[in-house]
Amino acid sequence: MNNDFFKKLIKESKKSLKYNDVPVGAILVKNNKIISKGHNTREKSNCTFSHAEINVIQKANKKLKSYFLYDCDLYVTLEPCEMCKKVINNARIANVFYLVKKDENKKEYNKTSYQHLENEFGNLSKKNLQIFFDKLR
């Protein structure tokens, strides 16, 4: 990545400060060309998943008319969170490069409990999924 890309990445991250949001910026690159840029907009949009990585991926999806972003590299100012990592993997992005590691000592506030429910509706849902994927194959 050339220095112009890094300068644009830092400039993009600063846009978040206008909304009192964490200054994180992201750039998606394909064939050494910037496909999309994004920054955190959670405070502005009041949306849980408006992270820089998600915003840049959504813009690239629209521009490339694909939800797969093969052969693309993602540059981010901060190491992606677990949510963003899942989206990045699902988008099939080739490489992720970040400038700052997450703070390992950061306190985790989320205490969400996940529970698997076993009943007839779960069986129906499983059957619907099997039918869908059988048609694809």
Residues designated as active site = 53
H/E run at residue 25: strand 25-30
Q: Would you call 33 exposed, middle or buried from its count of C-beta atoms within 10 A (0-12, 13-18, 19+)? A: exposed
CB 24 within 8 A of CB 14: no
CB 42 within 8 A of CB 51: yes
Q: Residue 54 and residue 33: Cα distance in Å, rounded?
A: 19
